[in-house]
Amino acid sequence: MTQFVFWTLSGVAILGALLCITGRNPVMSALSLVLTLFALAGIYVLFDAHFIAVMQIIVYAGAIMVLFLFVIMLLNVGRPDAGSDVKGKVGKFWAGFLGAALIAEMAAMWRLLPGESFRLPAGTLAGLTAQRGAVGLIAEPLFRAYLVPFEITSVLLLAAVVGAVVLAKRKL
């Protein structure tokens, strides 16, 4: 059952990604990417990352992709008369070649999984989730070992907000 759900969601994710890079209309590309993000959220649940799955839907599929769609509609790109923005033969060749080369490289590392001695016993993360809750599982390392990076992230987001407002203003 898990296998079936995993492969279905993987197929949907890859299909959405392909539609995203081949779609002629930017709005269709964005919505295909939303499909991929939702499928990935489902895969996260299979890997016992419940909190991250919810964050994926709220932050990525919700906030970030709405931002993309908003900009697409604000700038009115992808008008029917605009023509395709897909590159010519040379661009297609390089895109296909480098994509295939990347897949081949990573297929060579297919068997390179972490050694048995590093792995947790099966079901450890599910047990931890049941014990601490889906949020507590993330919160405990986040607010202890990674507290300083967490605070730096807040500074980063503040800088991004200020930067976005300044850059998007009509007159600098």
* 121-140: contacts with other proteins (CB under 8 A): 125, 128, 137-138, 140
* Residues between 17 and 76 with contacts to other proteins, criterion CB under 8 A: 17-18, 20-22, 26, 29-30, 33, 36-37, 40, 43-44, 46-49, 51-52, 55-56, 59-60, 63-64, 67-68, 71-72, 74-75
Of the candidates 35, 37, 25, the one whose C-alpha atom is nearest the C-alpha of residue 72 is 25
CA distance 69 to 62: 11
> Could you please report the per-residue DSSP string of 30-71?
HHHHHHHHHHHHHHHHHTT-HHHHHHIIIIIIIIIHHHHHHH
Total residues binding other proteins (CB under 8 A): 86
Q: Considering the complex, what minimum distance in angstroms separates the CB of residue 40 from other proteins? A: 6
Per CB under 8 A, does 167 bind other proteins? yes
Q: Applying CB under 8 A, which of residues 1, 4, 79, 106 lies at the interface with other proteins?
A: 106
Look at residue 128 and give its three-state secondary structure. helix
